[in-house]
Chains A and B, each alone.
Chain A
Amino acid sequence: MTGTPPLGPGDPPVADGGVGLPEVGGAVDELGAGAFSRSRRGRLLRSQRGAVVTSTASTLVVLGAIVVAFLLAPGSRAVRATYFNAHDMWRAFIGDPHEGFYSVGRGLVVNIEMFTIGEVLILVLALLVALVRQSKSPVLFPLRMIAVAYVDFFRGVPLILVILAIGFGLPALYLPVVSSQSAFVYGVLALVLAYSAYVSEVYRAGLNSVPLSQIASARSLGLRPRTAMRHVVLPQAVRTIIPPLLNDFISLQKDTALVAVLGAVIEANRAAEIYSSTVFNYSGYTVAALLFLLLTIPLARFTDHLIARDRTRRLAGAT
């Protein structure tokens, strides 16, 4: 780049008012051999085998460090005895009614019931809320306001407070039907109310992601707004929101544990709580945690799979 390198053999530099081609400095022979080669470390990271070796090694190092820190911690022995006692973990998992504690494993079935019923109700309620918020009819204005207030309220209040308010508040009203439900029903109701607020926003994002040109095209064909929503907009919206929707369901699965605060629903967390207060050993909580992981990790992997598939499809469609 030193001096003025010629643009070509014998060509004078362009001088038409200073707006010439940018100077291309440095002839090729100025770059020594291997000017573009990667460092040795870079080459190793690029190669397939190198990548596997490197990732395995770094994983082992990190995990090893965590295990070592755990084992060397001053309270390590006590924590292991209290949280990871194999005997207590098994007893908590199996349960023993004669000793006064419930099976954490059976408790998990209650969690599964809660989120299965909850998910169906959430999908319906959240869609209704989203459709009301998306509506433009002036007749629906009061409903729109209610929907906005509903979403603001239930997204803003901690879930545990919603569960307490519904689980203890509704029965205290002594209303017919409303006040005479089981704690299980109140727990599910609280989860449905709280999660529908989130999921309605997911739906809304999905509805808004459908291009306006699709709506114009449905309208130009003479479809009524409702038909266009049902057959053109909604199917496309649902497709895009499945991963974020499953994401919310992963957190719903574990948040069913919060219903334990109502006391009367013996789900996994509550069973572990009873075990620990009976036997004074927290290994039951560890069992509950492991069981929740068994539920959520497969769903998380499935969500990743859907995202990856969607991405491949989109890339294929882009060509």
Chain B
Amino acid sequence: MIRPAAGTAAARPAAARTAAAAGTSQAETAPGSAGSGAAAAAGTSQAETAPGSAGSGAAAAGTSQAAPAAGTALRIEGVRKAFGANCVLKGVDLAVDTHQVICLIGASGSGKSTLLRCVDLLEAIDAGRVVFFGHDVTSPAVDEILVRRQMGMVFQSFNLFPHLRVLRNITLAPVKALGMTAADAEGEAMALLARFGLADKARDYPDRLSGGQQQRVAIIRALAMHPKLMLLDEVTSALDPELVGEVLDVIRELAAGGMTMLIATHEMGFARETATRVVFLEDGVIVEEGPPSQVLDAPQDERTRRFLGRVLSAGRM
């Protein structure tokens, strides 16, 4: 996690150099920092180490606001996933550096959501691996719950807990999973709510909120865990058109603050303006990836052109 595994170091010398330079500052904030120092000294074996228990507690706090330092946050290597006979991911490779915003685009059923769910370890993958800050988190030795605490996932359908008030929706995981005191968690949740203009909704139940407000609360709920990576799964697709903007504004603010994000989206305008890279998926494989200007305006692959043509004729671009 301090530095990428040996293979990556060779593949991305620039990233490795920066990571090495920023090594000490990152060590305080990375998951399992105690174990990783030893791993770095030992050489290349640290990729197999699980995120240590230290990472789940205080060490995790405040990482999203850490000083910018480039490094590989996430590496997806040859990931395959099938549901029965239906092969959804057919070998996906993708790397996300810290502070990057990667937008996954593609038709429904292209595998975007499944890829995000595999990264969050909500689905077990059939082949390949997911490397999160240098740790192979798909190895059986890893406690996936500790990994999920470092990733924030936001779903298309918000999935707020309907029986809990907004504030409790946000504080449940910090209190029950990270062991924060209720007072600390509530203070932090209120600060986040205030930052995104929802302070007056803290005492409401989710069904009293508009879709846009609910989705913003869902984002805040994920942020309250201080994730090192945010996974956003078509978070505006279930919203009325006039509510899309307020949710995208939140994501833009996170991007501006340096949050590392992997975003499945149909909002091409948003992808163009916010994404570091756009990745086009079709039929379970990455067809094309690159800077938004390249993928969206000068697509090389015929399949990308066809997809963007359909999006254009649907008036969504």
Contact = CB atoms under 8 A, between A and B. Distances in A.
B122 A227 contact: no
Contacts of B155: 213, 216-217, 220
Contacts of A214: 159, 161
Contacts of A231: 172, 176
Interface residues of A, number: 18
B188 to A, nearest CB: 15
Contacts of A296: none
A216 B163 contact: no
A220 B160 CA distance: 12
Nearest to A230: B176
Given A216-B122, A317-B207, A222 B148 contact: yes
Contact of B177 (A216, A224, A239, A317): A224
Contacts of A219: 122, 145, 148
A221 interface: yes
Given A232-B161, A235-B163, A220 B177 contact: no
Nearest to B231: A220
B153 A220 contact: yes
Nearest to B221: A221
Interface string A206-235: 000000011011111111100100011001
A200 to B, nearest CB: 22
B190 to A, nearest CB: 19
A247 interface: no
A236 B173 contact: no
Contacts, number: 62
Interface string B165-180: 0000000110011000
Nearest to B207: A317
B interface residue count range (under 10 / 10 to 19 / 20 to 34 / 35 or more): 20 to 34
A216 B155 CA distance: 9
B149 interface: yes
Contacts of B151: 220
A202 to B, nearest CB: 18
Nearest to A235: B163
Interface string B120-149: 101000000000000000000000011011
Interface of B: 56, 117, 120, 122, 145-146, 148-153, 155, 157, 159-163, 172-173, 176-177, 207, 221-222, 225
Given A221-B149, A221-B221, A223-B172, 16 more contacts: A213-B155, A214-B159, A216-B155, A217-B160, A217-B161, A219-B148, A220-B151, A220-B153, A222-B146, A222-B149, A222-B150, A222-B225, A223-B145, A223-B177, A231-B176, A239-B163
28 contacts: A213-B157, A213-B159, A214-B161, A216-B155, A216-B159, A217-B153, A217-B160, A217-B161, A218-B161, A219-B145, A219-B148, A220-B122, A220-B152, A220-B153, A220-B155, A220-B222, A221-B148, A222-B148, A222-B149, A222-B173, A223-B172, A224-B145, A224-B177, A231-B172, A231-B176, A232-B161, A232-B172, A239-B163
User: 6 tightest CB-CB pairs across the interface, nearest first?
Assistant: A222-B149, A217-B159, A221-B173, A220-B153, A222-B148, A317-B207
